[in-house]
Amino acid sequence: MKIKKVICSAGKTGFFFDDQRAIKAGARNDGNFYTGKPVTPGFTSVRQAGESISVLFLLEDGQMAHGDCAAVQYSGAGGRDPLFLAKDFIPVIEKEIAPRYESLEITSFRELADIVDKMVSPTTGKIYHTAIRYGITQACLDAVAKSQHKLMAEVVAEEYGTKVSEEMIPIFTQSGDDRYLNADKMIMKAAAVLPHALFNHVEDKVGWKGEKIRAYVEWLRNRVVEKRPCPDYHPVFHIDVYGTLGTVFENDFKRIAEYISELAEVAKPFKLRVEGPVDMGEKQAQIEALAAIRRHMETIGTDAEIVADEWCNTFEDVRDFTEAKAGHMAQIKTPDLGGINNSIEAVLYCKEHDMGAYLGGTCNETNRSAEVCAHIAMATRPVQYLAKPGMGVDEGYMIVYNEMARILAVRAAK
């Protein structure tokens, strides 16, 4: 079967693009807006509407394969590709990439994905934006699955030598700024990992001694104990602090480890993970910092974990953080890795090298990219999979839960 035509449509994502540098520099919330001027190139405001591009492959037999190009909320930060706007990149796809796929025979996913993931633009001389490679490789996977009359998870498992999970992958839900009301939603739905909590501003959310995070973790522990839907509900607490502990403790890695250990005691009986404790501004320094914090945590003997996020963007980054033991878990932020083939390989690499694999992404994705990644999760079995898109809990949780449930039901019926 061949790909007959490639079609693009501009779309919206489930959240926003936020200028992380401006927020860290002091931009404040004003309702759903932020005050102040943007700092990162390409932004016209500190927060602006997220955009996506749907890429549709019309197949010879009339079926339509579909993927969505999307970029992370904090585009242009932490070594990532720049802001992704549909008007800028639809012409690139139509003029430079579509001709490579139209009239092409559908073979394997890996072969089709490699085309766009390794292509160099004749205009820029560089590989394509991560968002472009992300969406087109989703369409490639869907096209192979439709041509073979299989689930996308089954295609991944067959090509990468894995086995599709026979149970749900634990779902990690994120609250955004509404960390109290949304935590209640997570508890009610019995989310396996919660709440993210968006601790991205020292004065307003973290506290200059970390006291605001500590108070929130204590509240969350008590809330789960009081409101859990069943006695055996025992979620993992996973909070993202966006490097702010480095600011609070002046990058004293031993003190940061001690603080995380103290938080873990507050969280008990629930396990604690802290994502992005520091942001050192560049990759090698970030690796050394997270490795040092992990070593101090091991000396203390805490069962808390830290999660690598900033500066851990590509497959090569995931490999480098893993080899250096820079953290206990790596977030595989799917849009940042470009082609979904790289996310698949990153999960498998982490699992082979004693690093927790968190198949993540961003609130700024779409329902389609979340569904495709659910198939990757079921085929590769990471420790946890992010509920996405959005920060409202219900929508993202529904999308990924239901897609994984469909995979289980279809395979059971077969």
Which residues are known to be catalytic?
Answer: 333
Report the alpha-carbon distance of residue 316 to residue 372 in Å, rounded. Answer: 22
Report the alpha-carbon distance of residue 142 to residue 136 in Å, rounded. Answer: 10
Report the alpha-carbon distance of residue 88 to residue 72 in Å, rounded. Answer: 17
Give CB contacts under 8 A, 24+ apart, made by 208-217: 208/248, 209/248, 210/245, 210/248, 210/249, 210/259, 210/263, 213/239, 213/241, 213/263, 214/262, 214/263, 214/266, 216/179, 217/263, 217/266, 217/267, 217/272
240 annotated as belonging to a binding site for a ligand: yes
Residue whose entry in the numeric block shows the structure tokens 């706007």: 85
Write out the H or E segment, with its range, that includes residue 64.
strand 64-69
336 annotated as belonging to a binding site for a ligand: no
For the CA atoms of 367, 404, 391, 294, the dihedral, rounded to the nearest 10 degrees, stands at -120
Identify the CA nearest to 236 among candidates 187, 194, 275.
194
Q: What is the CA radius of gyration of the chain?
A: 21
Distance from chain centroid for Cα 48 = 19
Task: List beta partners, residue 6.
Answer: 57
User: What is the sign of the dihedral through the CA atoms of 284, 286, 289 and 295?
Assistant: negative
Helix, strand or coil for residue 29? Answer: strand
Report the alpha-carbon distance of residue 56 to residue 7 in Å, rounded. Answer: 5
41: exposed, middle or buried (C-beta count within 10 Å: 0-12, 13-18, 19+)? exposed
Task: List beta partners, residue 68.
Answer: 54
Residue whose entry in the numeric block shows the structure tokens 């809330």: 223
Report the alpha-carbon distance of residue 17 to residue 414 in Å, rounded. Answer: 41
331 annotated as belonging to a binding site for a ligand: yes
Helix, strand or coil for residue 399? Answer: helix
48 annotated as belonging to a binding site for a ligand: no
Residues annotated in a binding site for (2S,3S)-3-methyl-L-aspartate: 174, 331
Residues annotated in a binding site: 174, 240, 275, 309, 331
Residues annotated in a binding site for Mg(2+): 240, 275, 309
